[in-house]
Amino acid sequence: MQSVALEPVGSQFAVKVTTLTGEASLVQARGTQARLFGTTDAALKLLHKLGVRRIVLEGLENWQPDQAPEHKRSRPDRAQALTHAAEYDRWVRAKVQASRGSTQHAIPPDEWQSIRAEKLAQQKALQARQPQ
107 domain-assigned = no
Q: Is 65 helix (H, G, I), strand (E, B) or coil?
A: helix
103 domain-assigned = no
8 domain-assigned = yes
pLDDT of 2 above 90: no
77 domain-assigned = no
Q: Which residues contact 40 (CB under 8 A, 6 or more apart)?
A: 6, 13, 57
CATH number at residue 21: 3.30.420
Could you tell me whether strands 3-9 and 56-57 are parallel, antiparallel, or unpaired per DSSP bridges? Answer: parallel
40 domain-assigned = yes
118 domain-assigned = no
pLDDT of 95 above 80: yes
Range of the domain at 9: 3-71
- Give the number of domains in the chain: 1
Q: Which residues contact 109 (CB under 8 A, 6 or more apart)?
A: none
- State the Rg of the chain over Cα: 30
pLDDT in tens, 52-88: 888 888 888 888 887 766 555 666 678 888 899 999 9
Residue 79 backbone dihedrals phi, psi, to 5 degrees:
-65, -40
Q: CA angle at residue 23 from 18 to 25, to 5 degrees?
A: 95
Residues pairing with 9 in the sheet: 12
